[in-house]
């Protein structure tokens, strides 16, 4: 390293008389450039005799003949760090060209898309993704550990396990409650689980797939959450759990449901996939969730990191708990069903790898290959986790923006409160809204016509997921048998109304004021 004229760092080893790519070394950090300080500890042997910065903003080709004199030699770890910083510098430039510039075009009402949801990111996500890819730890690894730790801290829960989707998180949450480890409290085939039909299908799917019986309770308007007045009616000697979601970010009545479960020894699973960042201020269980975030009040909580959600990894999810026993069961089901809790690349953490006697296996059978459950491989990758770590830093801002957009829409549409039902937050809650729900309240209004008008104007709309799940083809055989589920009260009046009269529009952080104004203008046009 060095030159006749000015110290430089060669980015590869000179060979013969070829040109070599170099970056300059400077004695001062230039705020207009990207400069990385090189410390004494970064050198093998004698360091440079002056404070040095590597200016990675510009690279040059020079003749290898000018690199005959070496002033010092960097450690390989420092050299790798510098190469990474150069890559990161160009990834930022790529983001500016490919993504930011493409997203900054002029909004044309009726022609430009107004999404119901989408990714909101910057160069930090790209930088983290590249960093993880250069390390080439393709499965769960250091970035996964970092995300799990930071996500646990955000929610105020003790244990968090990253998975490959929110649906997988729901599957794990339910299957954990079928473990023999839980003794008499385990869910058996034929046991009942209280839930709702106005839900995303993978909230209910694990119950049916295992062979338990979903017991469907109607929801209330305008909160769109489970009707707590019907819980007692739903109870039977076979009831083992309640599994419900915080609908579109609006928390259900945690005080009532948690009290109902605790008095009867029932499990509570919080599907928190649409409600990350929502808060519930419990009167009866204050302090149970250290930060009052939904997801931490139940025995197990779940999150989704699919692109429309509050933060994204592309695909991804998490399952979390404050119960150490449940945490170990969740890990087992996530990691092939094995009994061992060693992380990827880790051996013999417990010190008993070859001296256990479990099942009918011989004494000393390798504990890494002993299976206590019929499990799955539902881990996420470090590449996903790296993106998630960058997104997690933005989450408070995302939550705030979602609430602002929701408030804007509600204020603008309140003049039509006689014609439409506007969503209301559950008492003692502060939702992190996933979308803005609208239910028609005038027989003259036709949802299909309204939705078609919005879609023709490039305003994306969505139904409240399945509307009424038991009306779908996946329930055909269960409806025919009349034994695979129960409906409390004989019908689901509000659930059917949602199926027929409800839709929602977006409040995600990528929406600008011009998007919101156009949505309001278009909706007002069809309601007037």
Catalytic residues: 309
* Spatial distance between the Cα atoms of 327 and 321, rounded to a whole number of angstroms: 6
* Spatial distance between the Cα atoms of 470 and 461, rounded to a whole number of angstroms: 22
Three-state secondary structure call for residue 250: coil
Contact at 8 Å (CB) between 215 and 484?
Answer: no
Cis status of the peptide bond prior to 485, with omega within 30 of 0 = no
* Spatial distance between the Cα atoms of 450 and 353, rounded to a whole number of angstroms: 63
Q: Which residues pair with 270 in a beta bridge?
A: 244, 301
- What are the CA-CA distances from residue 198 to residues 222, 267, 465 (Å)? 13, 21, 7
Beta strand 420-421 pairing with 267-271: unpaired
Q: What is the DSSP letter of 247?
A: G
Three-state secondary structure call for residue 425: coil
Residue by residue, DSSP assigns 447-459 as HHHHHHHHHHTTB
Tokens of 226: 């489970």
Residue by residue, DSSP assigns 353-422 as TTS---TTSPTT--GGG-BSS---B----HHHHHHHHHHHHHHHHHHHHHHHHHHHHHHHHGGGTTTEEP
Length of the chain measured in residues = 528
Tokens of 514: 């011009």
* Spatial distance between the Cα atoms of 320 and 290, rounded to a whole number of angstroms: 14
Beta strand 435-440 pairing with 502-506: antiparallel
Q: Which residues pair with 161 in a beta bridge?
A: 319
Of 454, 502, 366, 465, nearest in space to 114 by CA = 454
Tally Cβ neighbours within 10 Å of residue 266: 20
């Amino acid at each position: 390293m060095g030159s006749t004229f000015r110290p430089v760092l060669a980015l590869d080893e000179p060979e013969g008389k070829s040109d070599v790519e170099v970056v300059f070394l400077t004695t001062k950090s230039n705020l207009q450039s990207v400069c990385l300080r090189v410390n004494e500890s970064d050198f093998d042997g004698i360091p440079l005799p002056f404070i040095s910065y590597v200016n990675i903003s510009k690279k040059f080709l020079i003749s290898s003949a000018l690199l005959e004199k070496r002033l010092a030699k960097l450690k390989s770890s420092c050299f790798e760090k510098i190469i990474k910083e150069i890559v990161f510098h160009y990834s930022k430039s790529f983001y500016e060209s490919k993504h930011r510039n493409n997203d900054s075009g002029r909004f044309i009402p009726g022609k430009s898309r107004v999404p119901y949801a989408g990714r909101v990111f910057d160069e930090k996500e790209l930088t983290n993704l590249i960093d993880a890819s250069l390390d080439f730890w393709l499965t769960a690894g250091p970035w996964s550990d970092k995300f799990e730790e930071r996500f646990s801290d955000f929610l105020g829960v003790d244990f968090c396990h990253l998975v490959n989707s929110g649906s997988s998180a729901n599957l794990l949450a339910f299957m954990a409650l079928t473990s023999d480890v839980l003794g008499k409290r385990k869910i058996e085939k034929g046991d009942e689980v209280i839930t709702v039909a106005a839900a995303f299908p993978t909230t209910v799917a694990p119950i049916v797939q295992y062979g338990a019986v979903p017991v469907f309770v109607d929801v209330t308007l305008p909160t769109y959450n489970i009707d707590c007045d019907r819980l007692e009616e739903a109870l039977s000697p076979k009831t083992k759990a309640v599994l419900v979601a915080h609908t579109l970010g609006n928390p259900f009545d945690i005080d009532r449901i948690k009290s109902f479960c605790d008095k009867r020894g029932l499990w509570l699973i919080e599907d928190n996939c649409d409600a990350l960042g929502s808060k519930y201020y419990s009167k009866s269980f204050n302090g149970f969730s250290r930060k009052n975030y939904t997801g931490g009040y139940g025995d197990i909580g779940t999150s989704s990191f699919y692109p429309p959600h509050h933060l994204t990894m592309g695909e991804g999810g998490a399952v979390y708990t404050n119960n150490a026993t449940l945490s170990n069961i969740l890990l087992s089901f996530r990691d092939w069903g094995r009994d061992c809790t060693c992380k990827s690349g880790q051996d013999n953490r417990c010190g008993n790898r070859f001296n256990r006697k479990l099942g009918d296996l011989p004494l000393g059978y390798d504990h890494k290959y002993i299976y206590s459950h019929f499990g799955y491989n539902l881990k996420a990758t470090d590449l996903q986790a790296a993106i998630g770590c960058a997104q997690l830093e933005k989450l408070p801002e995302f939550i705030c923006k979602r609430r602002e957009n929701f408030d804007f829409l509600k204020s603008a549409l309140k003049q039509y409160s006689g014609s439409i039902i506007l969503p209301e937050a559950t008492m003692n809650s502060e939702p992190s809204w996933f979308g803005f729900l609208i239910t028609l309240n005038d027989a003259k209004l036709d949802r299909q016509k309204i939705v078609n008008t919005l879609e023709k104007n490039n305003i994306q709309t969505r139904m409240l997921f399945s509307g009424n799940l038991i009306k779908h083809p996946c329930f055909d055989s269960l409806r025919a048998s009349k034994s695979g589920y129960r409906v409390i009260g004989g019908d689901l009046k509000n659930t059917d109304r949602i199926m027929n009269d409800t839709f929602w529009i977006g409040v995600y952080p990528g929406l600008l004021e011009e998007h919101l104004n156009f949505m309001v203008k278009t909706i007002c046009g069809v309601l007037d």
